[in-house]
A = this chain, B = another copy of it.
Amino acid sequence: MSITALQAPVTRNDAAISLAVDILAQRFGERCVRSQAIRMQHGHTTTWLPTQAPDAVVFALTTEEVAETVQVCAQHGVPVIPFGTGSSLEGHVNAPGGGISVDLSRMQAVLEVNAADMDCRVEAGVTRKQLNSYLRDTGLFFPIDPGADASLGGMAATRASGTNAVRYGTMKNAVLGLTVVTASGDIIHTGGRARKSSAGYDLTRLMIGSEGTLGIITELRLRLHGQPEAVSGGVCPFPTLEAACQAVILTIQCGLPVARIELLDPLQVRASNTYSKLELKETPTLFLEFHGTENGVKEQAELFAEIAQDQGGGPFVWATQAEERTKLWSARHDAYWSAFTLRPGAKGIATDVCVPISRLADCVGETQKDIEDAGLIAPIVGHVGDGNFHVLVLVDPDTPDEIKRAESFIERLNWRAIDMGGTCTGEHGVGQGKMKYMRKEHGGGVDMMRAIKQALDPLGIFNPGKIVPSQ
């Protein structure tokens, strides 16, 4: 697999890198690591892009250490690539021009929790599960759930979301403010503790989704939510994809505050049945979760059951018991792993797109047909309340022709989503893998992005070869 077509050429300056690594090794001692294993792990990508390892990894403990590292790299014009847990999917942590990976995973302090303001301040290396464990007894929780137990810094950097974005929004909504190390090695604070502000440019939202190309996020102030008094969940089969999507549209339209509403296509249902020992009918199926008061979740579930029935769906089986719900949602969370039961030994190429919800049935339907025509095996799951869906193409890594067919399929999927008024990525981010779709999706907006990149990182040291194509 070649990714040369996917990324801007990034030149490598061996002498400068070697000098910077020496300085950092002297400064950070054992926390500046040059071993092959650690370097490879830090350029590791979870899907199909080849690894491009950095020259050294600095395990930073403080914002000031990140700033120091950036200062050294700025002085020598050496690339700096921030690293959280390495769960990104589009080659975000690759080092095409070499350089220094700044690993923030040891910055794990929860610095403040303010119950009255329902916010908290954390270091960038805290993962979402760690934060929720910490919050368990406070009555509060952090809702954004991208599946992987990603670091919160990484989740902000990629504008992550997940299953309950339909109710709680994405990282764009969850972050009140950031501490950021700039490309000159300065430390700035964006946003603040107020719930809203009209005071100047929204640097917080500019950093969110910038994937380490404009700044390195070292601390986050996050908006929390009250743990719901009651939760209920359920599963509902539909005769057709169109009926399932129409039910989703009506659910959103009538203002039903559904917390999660997820589509599994028949192939994914089969995989989940096998892996998670369920006995669901192999048909387009919605998984739902409702949050609210006891009465509220009952009312929501009843209202949804009516909507589903009107579309020929059902029966809608729902449960307020935590145990049943957990089994169901574990199955949804394990969808990625379950898919491999469809083709043991295969490698998965994960991709996501997002379209206006009115086009979702069209886009998923055309995609299913394309999968069939291309002779691929690729289950689909979707955060359908947002119009976002994932395709996991299961390929034999030793069959180049199949990989080529998978790549072509993924290209067509992205063009299709953009043609339908959608986006080439709802939540995975651009990294290296999606750069080639940026011009088509954003037109002249790409030039504005490049101008911003050049203004904030004039030396081009921050995560080069990502997001903004050179043309």
Asked whether any CB of chain B lies closer than 8 Å to the CB of A109, the reply is no
Does A312 sit within 8 A of B, measured CB to CB? no
Contact A451 B456 (CB under 8 A): yes
Q: Determine the chain B residues whose CB is within 8 A of the CB of A448 once the complex forms.
A: 182, 188, 203, 456
Provide the A435-467 mask, 1 if CB < 8 A to any CB of B, else 0. 001100111111111011111100000000001
Contact with B along A183-221 (1 / 0, CB 8 A): 000111110111111111111011011100010000000
Interface residues of A in 381-405 (CB under 8 A from B): 385-388
Write out the residue numbers on chain B whose beta carbons fall within 8 Å of the beta carbon of A21: none
Question: Which residues of B are found within 8 Å of A426, using beta-carbon distances?
Answer: 194, 196-198
The answer on a CB contact under 8 Å between A170 and B196 is yes
Assuming the A-B contacts A173-B173, A257-B257, are A209 and B214 also in contact, with contact meaning beta carbons closer than 8 angstroms in the complex? no
Separation in Å of the A370 CB from the closest CB of chain B? 20
Whether A346 sits at the interface, judged by CB under 8 Å, is no
- Cα separation A160 to B428 with both chains bound (whole Å): 30
Residue of B nearest to A428 (CB): B198
0/1 per residue, A393-437, Cβ < 8 Å to B?
A: 000000000000000000000000000011111111110001001
Chain B residues with CB below 8 A from A210, complex form:
201
**A197 with B228: CB separation less than 8 A:** no
Per-position contact with B for A104-119: 1 when CB-CB < 8 Å, else 0?
A: 0000000000111111
User: Is there an interface contact between A356 and B158, defined as CB atoms closer than 8 Å?
Assistant: no
A332 at interface by CB-CB < 8 Å: no
Flag if B194 contacts A387 (CB, 8 Å).
Answer: yes
Interface string of A141-178 (1 = CB under 8 A from B): 00000000000000000111100010001101100000
Which listed residue, B194, B205, B430, touches A199 by the CB 8 Å rule?
Answer: B430
Indicate if the CB atoms of B456 and A198 lie closer than 8 Å: no
Segment of A27-35, A75-83, A247-255, A264-272 engaged in the interface with chain B: A247-255
A209/B198 contact (C-beta < 8 A), A252-B118, A444-B186 known: yes
The reply to whether the CB of A295 lies closer than 8 angstroms to some CB of chain B is: yes
Interchain CB contact under 8 A, A425 and B255:
no
A357, CB-defined interface residue at 8 Å? yes
A189-B443, A226-B254, A445-B203 known; A358+B114 contact, CB < 8 A: yes
Q: List 15 A-B contacts (CB under 8 A).
A: A114-B356, A114-B358, A116-B249, A182-B448, A189-B444, A193-B355, A200-B438, A200-B445, A200-B467, A201-B206, A203-B448, A206-B452, A448-B456, A451-B455, A452-B452
Residue positions of A touching B, CB distance < 8 A: 114-119, 139, 158-161, 165, 169-170, 172-173, 182, 186-190, 192-203, 205-206, 208-210, 214, 225-226, 228-229, 249, 252-255, 257, 292-293, 295-296, 299, 303, 354-358, 385-388, 421-430, 434, 437-438, 441-449, 451-456, 467-468
- 7 shortest interchain CB distances as A-B pairs: A455-B455, A205-B205, A116-B358, A197-B423, A193-B421, A226-B255, A194-B354
Given contacts A193-B356, A205-B206, 7 further A-B contacts (CB under 8 A): A170-B196, A189-B444, A194-B422, A201-B209, A226-B254, A257-B257, A452-B455
